[in-house]
């Protein structure tokens, strides 16, 4: 079971939908979260993409030198940049980070944002572009190890004598991650990627997705890994966790929800439609928003993309994660508000309860006090998990 955290390059807060308790999205804060994730034992971090975010490649590059083992899941955007340029960027990052790059393929589902970026293509055409983009991208990185060239003549994209001089550290290329709920998205996943990523739907819906994508992949002679993207609100008791969930949306008014949902409704993303269907844009009580035991849809009232959170005490959260793992989920990409404190809270409360996970902060002999020295003399005992 691998656990990732999240770098909030679109901002961070204690209360969704308001500037109250908000934090400045700057390098110092990103660095604090990245170093915490690296130190605590998270496998990697996801950096979001889109016009609401700072550029993921620039931010991730700035964090290479302040981390040691942390992996970076960074987006490529078919249609926004050429596959050859994206391949060079990926290879350079992989080399500079000594093999710590993962690629998140984002086709995009916000038509207004895409048109603002110069992409005028309907849903299925964008996935056709993605298919050709990944074919060229993968071939550039593969042939870089062989000093070869890339020729491709597609419906949307072309390459003539394409060449990548500096191969990546990872062979044949940094692993490809991808999420999408439409039939076209499932075909892309089955043909190209290494890990299929779903948003946090109830387990039965996730199981159906996994079965469909894996069947398509195996028909192509491939076998995929699977991950899930969720928020998390964990506290020492269940009551405290649900109180924290209530506080997170306590400053959101109906007008803010309506504006957010109106924007989301214009997207042609099947995944966004499925997220919105979980809360219908207006439910506010726990009974209405708890769509499955310990799975809460409140975040999606005002946040696009991943809109569900695991809520509960440490045992409940670990049990729900194990339930998803039993379906075939290997990687959990989590986040919590605010992201710095919640990275520590989750690691302290849940890591010791996850099968096979080691919290890096207590690996090997301790180099200094672990906890506050008692009475100027006694060291507190380290709990054995």
User: Both ends of the chain: CA-CA distance in Å?
Assistant: 17
Count CB-CB contacts under 10 A for residue 239: 10
78, 134 Cβ separation under 8 angstroms: yes
Does residue 340 belong to any structural domain of this protein?
Answer: yes
136, 152 Cβ separation under 8 angstroms: yes
Summarised one tens digit per residue, pLDDT across range 248-279 is 999 988 888 888 878 777 776 676 777 677 77
CATH code at 52? Answer: 3.20.20.30
Residues 6+ apart with CB under 8 A from 108: 50, 77, 79, 114, 119, 126
Query: What are residue 176's DSSP bridge partners?
Result: 103
305, 46 Cβ separation under 8 angstroms: no
Q: Report which of 347, 318, 363 is spatially closest to residue 43, judged by C-alpha positions.
A: 347
Does residue 66 belong to any structural domain of this protein?
Answer: yes
Count structural domains, the chain: 1
Residues 6+ apart with CB under 8 A from 370: 362, 379, 380, 382
Summarised one tens digit per residue, pLDDT across range 275-328 is 677 777 665 677 788 999 999 999 988 887 788 999 999 999 999 999 999 999
Q: Report which of 169, 129, 127 is spatially closest to residue 145, judged by C-alpha positions.
A: 169
Does residue 306 belong to any structural domain of this protein?
Answer: no
Does residue 242 belong to any structural domain of this protein?
Answer: no
Looking at the chain, how many residues does it have? 385
Does residue 296 belong to any structural domain of this protein?
Answer: no
233, 297 Cβ separation under 8 angstroms: no
Dihedral, 226, 177, 106, 340 alpha carbons, nearest 10:
80
Does residue 86 belong to any structural domain of this protein?
Answer: yes
209: tokens are 């997705």
Count CB-CB contacts under 10 A for residue 328: 15
**What pLDDT, on the 0 to 100 scale, is given for residue 367?**
56
361: tokens are 């902060």
109, 199 Cβ separation under 8 angstroms: no
For residue 179, CA distances in Å to 13, 141, 368 come to 26, 22, 42
287, 279 Cβ separation under 8 angstroms: no
Distance between CA atoms of residues 258 and 336, nearest Å: 23
- If the chain, 385 residues long, is cut into consecutive pieces of 10 residues, what is the mean pLDDT of each piece? 96 92 94 98 95 95 98 95 97 98 91 86 92 97 95 97 97 95 92 95 95 96 97 98 95 85 74 71 72 93 87 98 97 97 97 74 53 72 61
Residues 6+ apart with CB under 8 A from 166: 88, 91, 92, 95, 144
**What pLDDT, on the 0 to 100 scale, is given for residue 377?**
67
For residue 342, the 8-state DSSP code is H
Note down the domain range covering 198: 2-227+311-359
| Chain centroid, CA 2 distance in Å | 12
Does residue 190 belong to any structural domain of this protein?
Answer: yes
199: tokens are 């948003």
**What pLDDT, on the 0 to 100 scale, is given for residue 346?**
98
47, 60 Cβ separation under 8 angstroms: yes
Distance between CA atoms of residues 323 and 227, nearest Å: 13
Does residue 179 belong to any structural domain of this protein?
Answer: yes
Q: Phi and psi dihedrals of 312, rounded to 5? A: 160, -170
pTM: 0.91
Distance between CA atoms of residues 40 and 140, nearest Å: 35
Sign of CA dihedral 343, 347, 353, 359: positive
**What pLDDT, on the 0 to 100 scale, is given for residue 361?**
46
């Amino acid at each position: 079971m691998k656990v990732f955290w999240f770098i909030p390059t679109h901002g961070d807060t204690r209360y969704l939908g308001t500037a109250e308790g908000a934090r400045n999205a700057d390098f110092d804060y990103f660095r604090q979260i990245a170093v915490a994730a690296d130190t605590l034992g998270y496998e990697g971090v996801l950096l979001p993409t889109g016009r609401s975010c700072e550029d993921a490649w620039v931010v991730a590059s700035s964090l290479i030198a302040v981390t040691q083992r942390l992996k970076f899941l960074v987006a490529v955007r078919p249609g926004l940049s050429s596959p050859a340029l994206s391949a060079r960027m990926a290879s350079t990052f992989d080399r500079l980070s000594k093999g710590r790059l993962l690629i998140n393929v984002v086709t995009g589902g916000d038509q207004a944002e895409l048109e603002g970026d110069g992409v005028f293509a309907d849903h299925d055409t964008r996935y056709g572009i993605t298919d050709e983009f990944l074919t060229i991208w993968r071939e550039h990185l593969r042939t870089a190890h062989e000093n070869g060239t890339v020729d491709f003549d597609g419906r949307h994209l072309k390459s003539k004598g394409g060449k990548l001089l500096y191969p990546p550290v990872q062979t044949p290329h940094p692993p490809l991650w991808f999420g999408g709920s439409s039939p076209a998205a499932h075909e892309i996943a089955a043909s190209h990627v290494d890990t299929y990523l779903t948003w946090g739907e109830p387990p039965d819906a996730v199981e159906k997705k996994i079965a469909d994508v894996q069947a398509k992949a195996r028909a192509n002679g491939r076998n995929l890994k699977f991950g899930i993207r969720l928020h998390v609100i964990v506290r020492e008791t269940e009551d405290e966790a649900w109180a924290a969930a209530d506080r997170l949306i306590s400053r959101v008014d109906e007008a803010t929800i309506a504006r957010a949902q109106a924007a989301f409704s214009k997207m042609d993303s099947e995944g966004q439609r499925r997220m919105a269907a979980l809360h219908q844009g207006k439910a506010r009580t726990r009974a209405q928003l708890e769509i499955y035991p310990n799975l809460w849809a409140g975040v999606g009232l005002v946040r696009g993309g991943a809109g569900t959170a695991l809520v509960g005490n440490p045992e409940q959260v670990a049990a729900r994660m194990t339930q998803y793992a039993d379906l075939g989920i290997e990687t959990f990409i989590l986040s919590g508000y605010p992201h710095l404190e919640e990275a520590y809270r989750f690691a302290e409360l849940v890591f010791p309860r996850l099968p096979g996970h080691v919290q890096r902060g207590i690996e090997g002999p301790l180099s200094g006090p672990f906890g506050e020295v008692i009475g100027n003399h006694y060291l507190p005992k380290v709990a054995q998990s």
